């Protein structure tokens, strides 16, 4: 009888751990994980000679490194063009402008 | 033995699913736009009904206190918008912060005035001042948002200037290698022209927006400025989108 109780408790503990693991995975997945540097106007002020300039040097540096790697090695993902990356950032900043204009509209609706 | 275990598992999973669902609902509710500021235009509906059904000093004062508190919450929110904006110039940020601060002080003073002994008729006049004396939702809110947007347009110019310089170098390099760069140069010129037009549209707006006052709104002159500013910023936004597209076209032309 005691053995059965111990087994029941063990099973419940295992089930609880599984549930906690599932909940933990879900929380981790819902946290935004930026894959690229977040755009900012301070970065914009730096222009292409700022943070993205390092991206340019990485691009030029990665070419000989890739050619020297063995053919069997997995190929590294292509480094994005720094200008294309900046244009992506600009698009996000344009979206911010759009959001500001949109907020100015919604704040006028029946507020007073 | 197995049945209780299965029941326990189902119950535990149900708790997890319910919690996840509730979190999602809470997140979506937090991001939903609220009409009339962060506390909503209907937050004082109960007090408004009380005034309509029985206008006493107490009911009018309760309504006024609620409406002032709602505006103070909105002003706090607008302060955060100004403080968090990376696009605002320091002078525009200071001007907006000063306007917000003046309205917060003015509303606090009005609340104190309304709290003094008075008759319902004179209280009503003071309650009207909560709206007409400040115009938090139809003037100050749009002033803040549109100024942030206009400065955001102008702040993108240095970014585009840097891209233009890089693309100019690339075009020169491609031309030196004998490549036909006519299309790339045309796209680059279009990008530069679009950015210049966008900045010309948005540049003068902050000064015009910041000059607006509740009195100008009450007389009906501020509305046209707000409307034209919004139209200009939307046009500038479209020009910037086109400029970014032109920049990508240059990259494609040079491949």
Q: Same structural domain for residues B114 and B181? A: no
Question: What pLDDT does residue B2 have?
Answer: 47
In a shared domain, residues B110 and B69: yes
Q: pLDDT tens-digit profile of A81-107?
A: 999 999 999 999 999 999 999 988 754
User: Do B172 and B108 fall into the same domain?
Assistant: no
Total domains present in chain B: 2
B19 touches chain A (CB under 8 A): yes
CA nearest to A23, candidates B96, B15, B110, B250: B15
Whether residue B231 has pLDDT greater than 60? yes
* Residue range B181-211, pLDDT digits in tens: 999 999 999 999 999 999 999 999 999 999 9
Domain span holding position B126: 37-134
Largest CA distance in chain B: 87
Helices and strands, number each (H, E), in chain A: 4, 0
Per-chain mean pLDDT for chain B? 88
Which runs of consecutive H residues, i.e. helices, occur in chain B?
2-31, 45-53, 57-84, 90-115, 120-132, 141-155, 157-176, 182-202, 205-210, 214-219, 222-253
Which pLDDT value is given to residue B156?
98
Q: Greater confidence, A72 or A58?
A: A72
Asked if B112 and B170 sit in the same domain, the reply is no
- Give the one of B149, B163, B240 whose C-beta lies nearest to A86's C-beta: B163
Within-domain flag for B23: no
- Which residue did the predictor score with more confidence, A2 or A59? A2
> CA-based angle B123:B126:B99, to the nearest 5?
155
Longest dimension (CA), chain A: 75
When mean pLDDT is compared over A38-52, A97-111, B141-155, the highest value belongs to B141-155
For position A42, what pLDDT does the model report? 53
B10-57 tens-digit pLDDT:
344 333 333 333 333 333 333 444 566 776 778 899 999 998 898 899
Residues B214/B152, Cβ–Cβ less than 8 Å: no
Domain stop point among B134, B159, B191 = B134
What is the distance in angstroms between the Cα of A10 and the nearest Cα belonging to chain B?
A: 10
A112 touches chain B (CB under 8 A): yes
Whether residues B196 and B157 fall in one domain? yes
Please identify among residues 25-64 of chain A the ones whose CB lies closer than 8 Å to any CB of chain B: 26, 30, 40-42, 44-45, 47-50
Among B35, B142, B237, the residue with its CB nearest the CB of A94 is: B237
**From the list A83, A84, A98, which residue is nearest B237 (CB)?**
A98
Do B122 and B155 fall into the same domain? no
What does the DSSP 8-state code read for residue A73?
A: S
**Residues B45 and B119 occupy one common structural domain:** yes
Query: Among positive and negative, which fits the CA dihedral B141, B146, B147, B148?
Result: positive
Q: How confident is the model at residue B64 (pLDDT cuts 50, 70, 90)?
A: very high
Confidence tier at A24 by pLDDT (50, 70, 90): low
End-to-end Cα spacing for chain B: 69
pLDDT in tens, A70-80: 455 667 777 88
B121 Cβ contact partners less than 8 Å away, ≥ 6 residues apart: none
The answer on B94 and B59 residing in a single domain is yes
DSSP B126-174: HHHHHHHTT-IIIIIHHHHHHHHHHHHHHHTHHHHHHHHHHHHHHHHHH
Residue B26 placed within a domain = no
CA distances (Å), origin B12, targets A21, B18, B22, B29: 12, 10, 15, 26
Which residues 6+ apart lie within 8 Å of B4 measured at CB?
A8
- Identity of the highest mean pLDDT range in A16-25, B49-58, B63-72: B63-72
| Higher-confidence position of A61 and B140 | B140
Are B67 and B126 within one domain?
A: yes
Instruction: Please give the ipTM for the structure prediction.
Output: 0.77
- In this prediction, residue A20 carries a pLDDT of 54
Both B121 and B163 in one domain: the answer is no
């Amino acid at each position: 009888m005691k053995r059965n109780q111990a087994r029941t408790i063990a099973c419940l503990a295992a089930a609880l751990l599984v549930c906690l693991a599932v909940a933990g995975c879900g929380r981790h997945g819902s946290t935004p994980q930026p894959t690229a540097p977040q755009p900012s106007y301070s970065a914009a002020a730096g222009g292409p000679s700022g943070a993205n300039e390092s991206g340019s040097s990485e691009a030029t540096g990665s070419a000989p490194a890739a050619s020297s790697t063995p053919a069997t090695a997995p190929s590294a993902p292509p480094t994005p063009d720094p200008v294309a990356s900046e244009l992506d950032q600009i698009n996000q900043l344009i979206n911010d402008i759009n959001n500001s204009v949109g907020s100015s509209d919604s704040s006028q609706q029946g507020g007073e | 033995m197995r049945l209780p275990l299965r029941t326990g598992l189902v119950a535990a999973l149900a708790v997890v699913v319910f919690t996840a669902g509730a979190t999602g609902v809470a997140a979506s509710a937090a991001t939903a736009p609220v009409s009339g500021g962060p506390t909503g235009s209907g937050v004082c509906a109960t007090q408004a009904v009380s005034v309509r059904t029985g206008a006493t000093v107490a009911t009018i004062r309760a309504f006024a206190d609620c409406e002032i508190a709602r505006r103070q919450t909105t002003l706090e929110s607008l302060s955060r918008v100004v403080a968090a904006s990376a696009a605002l110039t320091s002078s525009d940020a200071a001007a907006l912060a000063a306007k917000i601060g003046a309205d917060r002080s003015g509303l606090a003073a009005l609340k104190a005035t309304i709290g003094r002994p008075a008759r319902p008729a004179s209280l009503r006049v003071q309650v009207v001042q909560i709206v007409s004396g400040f115009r938090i939702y139809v003037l100050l809110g749009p002033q803040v948002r549109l100024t942030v947007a206009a400065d955001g347009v102008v702040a993108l110019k240095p970014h585009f200037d840097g891209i233009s310089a890089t693309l100019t170098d690339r075009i020169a390099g491609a031309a030196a290698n004998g490549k036909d760069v006519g299309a790339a140069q045309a796209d680059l010129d279009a990008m530069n022209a679009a950015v210049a037009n966008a900045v010309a549209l948005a540049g003068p707006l902050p000064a015009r927006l910041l000059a607006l006052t509740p009195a100008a709104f009450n007389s009906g002159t501020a509305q046209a400025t707000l409307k034209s500013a919004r139209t200009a910023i939307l046009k500038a936004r479209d020009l910037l989108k086109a400029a970014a597209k032109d920049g990508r076209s240059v990259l494609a032309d040079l491949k």
